[in-house]
Structure 1
C-alpha cells in the first residue's frame, strides 16, 4: 500500500484590512529566497502549495509581473516537485475589485487563464483557499476587507468565490484539460449546550457549503438552500452550480485547535469578549478544547467525515500550530498518524501538508495588525539563512517511512492535558499522562532551575529537578549515579556560583562554575545525553561599542567571568554537541530577588533606588530565556548562543523604564557610577548581547510589559487566596 504523501507550503495569506494589504510571503522573506524551494524539496515532498497570488502578480488590469514566479516554477520542475497553484489566499483580489463585486468571478477567471497560459505544465490549482472561512471573516465578522458583518454580504462573498473557482477551473482546463482542482477549507465542528443545538446544527451544515456548492449538492432539499435564497442567492445561480458542478479532484481539509467550537448560553461563566449572539440568544463561543473534558476530534474525525461525505481523494492541506516546539512536533506527528490510520482502513487519504514552513506573522490578531508576532514553522526565519527546527527532521522521517525518534513525542500535546482548560469543564475530565525520558534540571533552588521546572511542567516535558544532594556537579561519582538512575535525554545545568563580587576571593566558584560543568559535559557525552549550560555577558571586557555576538573574542575582567569562559571552552571540547547559552541581567515574575522586582518594590515604598549608570547590559526576562532555550534544545542546536531580550540600556535606565511602565516615580532612581556601588569585581562598561545565529528573543519593551502583567496577575491571585475564607 502506498504511504501518505508529504506536501508542504509557505504561509501565503495576502489579505486586506482597510487600505492596507498584508503579505505573508514578503514578511517571512520567502519572496526573496529562491533556495527556499530547495529547502522544501529536501523534506521529500511530492507537491508544494505554490503561491501564485493574484494580488502580487496582476499589477494593473491585464498587466502581469511574472518575474518572481518564472524562476521558481522552473526550479520546482528541476527539483521534481509538482506545484499546486494557489491564486487567492484569504484575499479579496487586487485593489480594483473585492469579494462583493459582481465582476469578481470573471476577473478571477481571467487571471487564472493568464496563469495557465504562462504555465501550461501546472496540473493542480486552488483558485481560492478556504472560501467559506474568507467569506465569514470578510462578510460576516467584518475582520477583513470589505469589512461587512451581515448574512447577505457573507452569502455574496461565498458565492462569488465559488463561482470564481468554477469559472477559473473552466478557463484553466481550456488550456490544460487535465488540470485538477484541489479545494481547501477549514473544516471545524461546533458543539453546544442543549439549548443552542439549533445554532450548532446550522453551523455544522454551513461548514460544508464551499464543498457542497462545488460538488452540485446544494439542491432545494439541502438544509442551506433556504438560507442562501433568503440572503441574496438567486435560484438561477444556485441551479447553475447544480447543472454544471465543479467537484474537487482532491478535498483538502484544514483543521486547527481553534476550529472546533462550543456554544454556551451560560454567559456568566465566560469573559465578556467571548460573548455574542445570533439575534435570538446570547451565548459564549469558545474553543471546545478549553471546556471539554474529552479530547477534541481533530484530524482523524475531520478526515473520516470528509472521506465518507464525498468519497473522493482527500488531503490534509495545512498542518501548523503556533506553539512551543515540542507541541508543534506532537501536532504534526498526530496528524500524520491519523492520516496513515485512515489510509490503512481503505479511506482515500492522499497527503498531509506541512504548512507555514517558514512561519507566520500576526495570526494572533487574525492578520489585522502588523505587530511582528512570529510563529516559527519548519524553519525559523529569524536566522540567516533560515534555521531548520526539529520539525524538519520529523518531516523527513515521515516522508521516508522512518520512525520518528524525538523524545518530546512521547508526551501528549497540551490539547490532551488538563492545562488546556480555561473554563469549567463540560464533562468528566480525561487526559493523557505525561510520560517519556526526562530532562534533568540541576539547581533546584535557584531562579533559573525553578523557572525551568515550572515551564517544563506547563509544556508537558517530563523532567526531574535535582538538588545538590541528588546531583553534585563537582562530584564525578554523583553525576554518574544520577545519569545512570534517570537516563535523561538531556540535562539542563542551572547550578553554579552566582555572587559576582564574592567570586573574587572564593575558590568554590571555580569548582562550581568551571570544573562542574566540564564534569557534567563529559558524563553526558558518555551517556548520550545532551547538555545545556549557562554562561554570562561577563566573559567580555566591554571595549566594543556594539552588542556582542557569539563570534566576538571573550576577554573577562573578573574571576566570575574567567570561570564562565573556562567552562565554555571545556564543555564544548569534551561535548561539542552541548548548548552553551550566554545571557545577562535576569528579571522575572517568580523571583522576588531580581533587580527589577527589588527596584519596583523600593519605589512603591517611596524609597530611592541606586543603580549603575555606566554599565550597559541586555536585560533578560527569565520566561523568555527558558522558552527559547527549550526550543533550541529540542531543535538539536549546539555551541554558543546568545539569549537576551533585544535591547541595551544601563541598570539605571532599566530601573527608570520599569518605573515608568509601572506608573511609579522614576525620579527616585539614583543613577550613579558603578564605582560608588561597592562592587568588588570589575564590570565591563558595555556588555550588551545580540546574536549572529538568530534573534529568537522578544524585545525588551515587550518583555517588560509582560513582566508587569504577570506580576499583577500573581498579586491578584495571592490577594484572592489570602482573602478567601477557610471552609471546614
Structure 2
C-alpha cells in the first residue's frame, strides 16, 4: 500500500480534553473543571493556534441527560456556530470515556440504540457536521470501566469488558447509520489508544494477547472478527455469541480515519519477576505491568512503527488524535515535536497519516488518578489555566509554527525527552536488543545553554540542580567569570556562551547588613540587574531576575499582588524596587519574579531546616509571630521559573507556595508534618516593627500548596540520609 504522492501537507488538529466519566453516582466533567463550559472565548484562542480541525464535545450526557425530549442544545448551538465562523472543522464527540446518561451504561443492551437515536438528533440539528467520533476509545474505556472497575459500571471481568466493547462498537455502527441518513458524506474518525506490550518469556503469550486486544474495536468496525480471528475464542468464551460477532461482519463500518491516541503509558512491559518491582506495580495475576520507558534499557522507537503497524493492518487513513504529555515544559515540547516528526517520516514511507492532534489544549485534571476522584491535580497544555485567563504556553507557539510550516524555534527542543534519558529508569533495566529509536527523533544541532549568575549562592545552586535534572544545558558563573555589574564582562559572556536566557540568581542577600553596606547592595541588587537587562535586550536574550517582598512596606492587611504600589522601607527593598523599574523599562520582555522565605532539601541552612533540627533534638525554638511571610520551596520556584522562561513570559510575577503565615506558624506546621513536637516552638515579637510581607498573585498560582511542598521537603531532605522523618533533622 502506498500513499498518493500528491497528498496534502500534514495537518495540525487540536483537541479539548472533554471527558465526562462516571464514578459511582458522580460525574466528573473536565470542561466544568477547566471552566471551558462557561468560556466560549476559548474557541478564539484555539483558532489562534492555526489548527484546521478540533475534536470537540457534543456529549450525550450533557445535552440530553434525561432523554431527547428535554435535550438542551443551547451550548453546542453557540459553540459549533463559533467554530464555523472561525473556519475550524469540528470533529464531534458524542461519548468521551462516559457510559451515557444515568438510565444506561456500557453493559446495557439499550446503550447502542439509544446512542444512535442521540446521534441522529445531532445530525438533524447540525446537518453540516461532517466528522464524528460517536465513542472515544471504546476499547480503552471498556478496560477502565468493565475490566479494571475504575469507572461506572465498575465491573471487573472479561465478560463485562467484552460486553462493553461490543455495545460501544455496535453503538458506533448504529450512530453512523443514523448520521448518514441525514448526511451521507459524514465521516467516522474512530479513536483508540495504540500502544504495544513487551514481556519476559514466561509472559510472551500474555503480551501477544494484549497486542491483539489493542486492535479489537477497529477490527470489529472493519468487519474483521470471524472464526479465524486471534480473539475469537476469547470473545466467545467471554459471553459473545457467534451471531453478534457475525453482525459486525455483516454491517461493517470502517473508519474514514483511524484515530491513534498515543501516550508515554501506551507501551508496557510485563515481568513475571514480581519481586523486582514495588507492590503497587504487581497486579492480581502476580506479574508486574509497568510503563516500558521505566524498565527497558534501550528507549523504544515511539509512535512511528506503531503508525506503520496500523497502516499495514487496515490500509486506512490515519491521524494521531491525541498527543499530550504531563511533564515539564521542555518535555511537553519535545513530545509533540517528536510525534510530529514521526508522523512526517511515516508519510515519507508511504503511510497515509493525515494529521497530528495536540491534545488537552486547556490541560487536564486528575488524570494522575485516572479521574477516579476530584483532587485538583492539573497538567497544563497549550494554555495554562492557573490564572485569571488562559495563558498561552510555549506549546502554543510550537503549534503555530507547525501549522504554518515554520521550523520550531524553541531552544529547549534540542535535547532528548525524559523518556529517552537514563534517569527514566525506575526498575532494573531489561535489554531487548537494538532498536533504532534515534532515527525517529527530530534533527537538531547543539543545544543553547542558559547562563546562571551567582554560582556560590543558594538560588544559583538550586537552578543548576534543577537544570541538570531537566536536561537543560547551563553554565553557572561566578563573579570572576561574569561580573553582572560590568557591561564588558556581561557582553563577553554572552558572546562566548551564546545563551538563550540568563538567570540572575546572584545579588547581595543579608537584609539588615544592607543598611551598612549600601554601596555593595546598590551595585549587586540594582546596578547589576540593569546591566544584565541592557545586554540581554541588545542580544535578544531572555532574562529572569529576582526581587522580594521587601519592596513593600508591610502595612497591607492581606497579601501583596503584582499591581500593588511599591513602598520600600529599607535599603535592600529600595535597591530591588529600583532594579524592577529599570530592568523592565530597558528589557520589557524580561521576567521579574518576587518571592520570599526559601527552604530547600539540599542543606539545612534555612529557617525550616534550623527549626526542625532544633525541635527534633528536643530543644526549644524561638520564632517571630508578628512577621507574616509566604514560604517558598526552592525546587518548586526553580521549576516554575524555568517553565515561564520557556514560555517567554514577561513582567512581574509573584511566585510562592501560596500560604501566608508567621515564622512561628511555619515552624509549628513543619514540625507537625515531620512528626516532632511543635509545642517547643516559642513565639516572640520581632526586633523590627510587625510586618505583613505575604505575596499573593493576580497572574496565577503556579506553585503547589505549602503543605504539599513541606511533605516533599521532608521526604527529599531525609532521603539524602536514609533516616525517618522524625529523626532526619538530627544529622
TM-score under structure 2 normalisation? 0.95
Please tell me whether the aligned partners of residues 619 and 644 of structure 1 are also in contact (alpha carbons under 8 angstroms).
Answer: yes
Please tell me whether the aligned partners of residues 90 and 130 of structure 1 are also in contact (alpha carbons under 8 angstroms).
Answer: yes
Please tell me whether the aligned partners of residues 434 and 460 of structure 1 are also in contact (alpha carbons under 8 angstroms).
Answer: no
In the other structure, the counterpart of 1:382 is 386
Tell me the distance in 2 between the aligned counterparts of 1:591 and 1:88.
51
In the other structure, the counterpart of 1:191 is 198
Tell me the distance in 2 between the aligned counterparts of 1:429 and 1:572.
51
1:477: Cα distance to partner? 2.6
1:198: Cα distance to partner? 0.6
The CA deviation string for residues 3-32 of structure 1, in whole angstroms up to 9 with x for no partner, is 111110110011111111100011111111
Q: How many residues align?
A: 711
Residue 6 (structure 1) aligned with residue 12 (structure 2): yes
Q: How does 1:88-103 map to 2 (within 5 A)?
A: 88-103=95-110
Tell me the distance in 1 between the aligned counterparts of 2:154 and 2:254.
29
The CA deviation string for residues 315-363 of structure 1, in whole angstroms up to 9 with x for no partner, is 0001110111111111111111111122233321001111100000010
1:115: Cα distance to partner? 1.0
In the other structure, the counterpart of 1:493 is 504
Tell me the distance in 2 between the aligned counterparts of 1:377 and 1:231.
39
Please tell me whether the aligned partners of residues 587 and 619 of structure 1 are also in contact (alpha carbons under 8 angstroms).
Answer: yes
In the other structure, the counterpart of 2:324 is 320
Tell me the distance in 2 between the aligned counterparts of 1:552 and 1:344.
56
Tell me the distance in 2 between the aligned counterparts of 1:400 and 1:486.
31
Alignment counterpart, residue 345 of structure 1, candidates 337, 349, 355: 349
Secondary structure of 1:464 counterpart: strand
The structure-2 alpha-carbon separation of the partners of 1:625 and 1:267, relative to structure 1 and needing over 3 Å to count, comes to: same
Alignment counterpart, residue 524 of structure 2, candidates 512, 515, 521: 512
* Higher alpha-carbon deviation: 693-702 or 124-133: 693-702
In the other structure, the counterpart of 1:725 is none
Tell me the distance in 1 between the aligned counterparts of 2:692 and 2:492.
42
In the other structure, the counterpart of 1:367 is 371
Tell me the distance in 2 between the aligned counterparts of 1:190 and 1:117.
42
1:524: Cα distance to partner? 1.6
1:200: Cα distance to partner? 0.3
Tell me the distance in 2 between the aligned counterparts of 1:511 and 1:42.
43
1:120: Cα distance to partner? 1.0
The CA deviation string for residues 458-500 of structure 1, in whole angstroms up to 9 with x for no partner, is 1111111112221122222322221111111100111111111
Secondary structure of 2:623 counterpart: strand
In the other structure, the counterpart of 1:693 is 699
In the other structure, the counterpart of 1:551 is 563
Secondary structure of 2:92 counterpart: strand
1:277: Cα distance to partner? 4.7
Structure 1 spans left out of the alignment, 5+ residues: 676-681, 723-728
Please tell me whether the aligned partners of residues 541 and 684 of structure 1 are also in contact (alpha carbons under 8 angstroms).
Answer: no
Please tell me whether the aligned partners of residues 3 and 340 of structure 1 are also in contact (alpha carbons under 8 angstroms).
Answer: no
Alignment counterpart, residue 148 of structure 2, candidates 141, 145, 155: 141
The structure-2 alpha-carbon separation of the partners of 1:289 and 1:434, relative to structure 1 and needing over 3 Å to count, comes to: farther
Alignment counterpart, residue 625 of structure 1, candidates 616, 621, 637: 637
Secondary structure of 1:534 counterpart: strand
In the other structure, the counterpart of 2:455 is 444
1:718: Cα distance to partner? 11
RMSD: 1.7
Alignment counterpart, residue 593 of structure 1, candidates 605, 623, 648: 605
In the other structure, the counterpart of 1:461 is 472
The structure-2 alpha-carbon separation of the partners of 1:395 and 1:233, relative to structure 1 and needing over 3 Å to count, comes to: same
Q: How does 1:671-710 map to 2 (within 5 A)?
A: 671-675=683-687, 682=688, 685-710=691-716
Q: How does 1:123-202 map to 2 (within 5 A)?
A: 123-202=130-209
1:429: Cα distance to partner? 9.7
Tell me the distance in 2 between the aligned counterparts of 1:400 and 1:276.
46
1:238: Cα distance to partner? 0.3
Please tell me whether the aligned partners of residues 602 and 608 of structure 1 are also in contact (alpha carbons under 8 angstroms).
Answer: yes
Tell me the distance in 1 between the aligned counterparts of 2:121 and 2:535.
63
The CA deviation string for residues 253-299 of structure 1, in whole angstroms up to 9 with x for no partner, is 01100110001111121111101254xxx211111101112222322
1:384: Cα distance to partner? 2.3
Alignment counterpart, residue 295 of structure 2, candidates 291, 296, 305: 291
In the other structure, the counterpart of 1:399 is 403
The structure-2 alpha-carbon separation of the partners of 1:717 and 1:478, relative to structure 1 and needing over 3 Å to count, comes to: farther
Please tell me whether the aligned partners of residues 557 and 684 of structure 1 are also in contact (alpha carbons under 8 angstroms).
Answer: no
In the other structure, the counterpart of 1:105 is 112
Residue 542 (structure 1) aligned with residue 546 (structure 2): no
In the other structure, the counterpart of 2:78 is 71
TM-score under structure 1 normalisation? 0.95
Please tell me whether the aligned partners of residues 434 and 461 of structure 1 are also in contact (alpha carbons under 8 angstroms).
Answer: no
Residue 54 (structure 1) aligned with residue 85 (structure 2): no
The structure-2 alpha-carbon separation of the partners of 1:550 and 1:683, relative to structure 1 and needing over 3 Å to count, comes to: farther
Tell me the distance in 2 between the aligned counterparts of 1:557 and 1:290.
52
Please tell me whether the aligned partners of residues 411 and 434 of structure 1 are also in contact (alpha carbons under 8 angstroms).
Answer: no
Q: How does 1:77-92 map to 2 (within 5 A)?
A: 77-92=84-99
Secondary structure of 1:276 counterpart: coil
Tell me the distance in 1 between the aligned counterparts of 2:119 and 2:558.
50
Dislocated runs of 4+, deviation >6 Å: 428-434
Q: How does 1:268-307 map to 2 (within 5 A)?
A: 268-278=275-285, 282-307=286-311
Secondary structure of 1:653 counterpart: helix
* Higher alpha-carbon deviation: 3-12 or 421-430: 421-430
Secondary structure of 1:674 counterpart: coil
In the other structure, the counterpart of 2:260 is 253
1:90: Cα distance to partner? 0.6
